[in-house]
């Protein structure tokens, strides 16, 4: 069941990322993230109410658990900003796989935290890291000024640095969710809290960061709303 849920989440995140590509180019990275977090928070609030409301938030939790939720929300804010920025300026087919390599870091942190992993899965992890390096590097031929010979040079493709930042942030975030947040708060409640913290942080930082918080209009609402709902379902 865990594998099925994981694959379902991956498919939904792929759909949300594809939609985010268009959202960021239509209304910008900041506004897309701000309002998709708001939509996700509102959608999860309806779900939380159906599951027991405030009682669901407080049952079996303590203050330390919610401190982890706040920290996770802040990491999620920075990671998703980096991810959406990479979508905005980079090639989706390049930056999306790089950002999606975050489980490699999550696995490393999990092993350091006491979990074990089979040799075949470790080899898969190594292969994923090699693939990450190859995907992140763009090779082109350059001709030497002093001779007619040409040679291959490698450089990072546009948006890759932001995708790497997102991968590091998400790798840390998902380790934190599995080892610190979920055991203390639970699934739906933790995602609800992270959505609230992310939206609140973005709303408070909009003015000092000189970012527009103007609401989307027309079809952009449907696009951002779809991102927020699909992404939230994937997290849950």
Q: What percent of the chain shows pLDDT beyond 90?
A: 42
Note the pLDDT of residue 157. Answer: 72
How far is residue 3's CA from residue 7's CA, in Å, rounded to a whole number? Answer: 6
pLDDT digits (tens, 9 = 90+) for 94-144: 888 888 888 888 888 888 888 887 888 778 878 877 877 776 666 555 555
Answer whether residue 153 shows pLDDT above 90: no
- C-alpha angle 183-187-189 in degrees, rounded to nearest 5: 105
Note the pLDDT of residue 107. Answer: 85
How far is residue 41's CA from residue 105's CA, in Å, rounded to a whole number? Answer: 27
Q: By the 8 A CB rule, do 192 and 175 touch?
A: no
How far is residue 28's CA from residue 88's CA, in Å, rounded to a whole number? Answer: 8
Note the pLDDT of residue 123. Answer: 85
pLDDT digits (tens, 9 = 90+) for 194-236: 999 999 999 999 999 899 999 999 899 999 999 999 999 998 8
Token digits for 15?
């759909």
Window from 149-153, 191-195, 224-228 with minimum mean pLDDT: 149-153
Answer whether residue 59 shows pLDDT above 70: no
pTM confidence score: 0.81
Mean pLDDT of 39-49: 88
Comparing 54 with 200, which gets the higher pLDDT?
Answer: 200
Window from 31-45, 71-85, 175-189 with minimum mean pLDDT: 175-189
Q: How confident is the model at residue 61 (pLDDT cuts 50, 70, 90)?
A: low
Q: How confident is the model at residue 154 (pLDDT cuts 50, 70, 90)?
A: low
């Amino acid at each position: 069941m865990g594998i099925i849920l994981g694959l379902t989440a991956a498919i939904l995140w792929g759909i949300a990322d594809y939609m985010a590509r268009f959202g960021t180019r239509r209304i910008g990275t900041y506004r897309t993230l701000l309002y998709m977090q708001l939509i996700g928070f509102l959608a999860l609030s309806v779900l939380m109410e159906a599951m027991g409301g405030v009682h669901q938030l407080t049952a079996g939790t303590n203050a330390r658990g919610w401190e982890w939720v706040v920290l996770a929300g802040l990491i999620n804010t920075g990671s998703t900003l980096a991810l959406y920025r990479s979508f905005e300026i980079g090639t989706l087919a390049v930056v999306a796989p790089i950002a999606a390599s975050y489980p490699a870091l999550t696995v490393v942190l999990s092993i350091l935290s006491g979990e074990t992993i089979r040799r075949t899965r470790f080899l898969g992890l190594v292969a994923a890291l090699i693939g990450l390096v190859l995907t992140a590097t763009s090779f082109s031929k350059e001709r030497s000024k002093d001779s007619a010979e040409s040679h291959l040079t490698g450089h990072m493709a546009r948006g890759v640095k932001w995708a790497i930042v997102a991968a590091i942030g998400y790798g840390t975030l998902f380790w934190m969710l599995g080892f610190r947040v979920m055991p203390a708060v639970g699934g739906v409640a933790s995602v609800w809290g992270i959505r609230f913290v992310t939206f609140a942080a973005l709303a408070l930082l909009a003015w000092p960061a000189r970012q527009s918080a103007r609401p989307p209009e027309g079809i952009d609402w449907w696009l951002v709303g779809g991102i927020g709902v699909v992404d939230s379902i994937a997290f849950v």
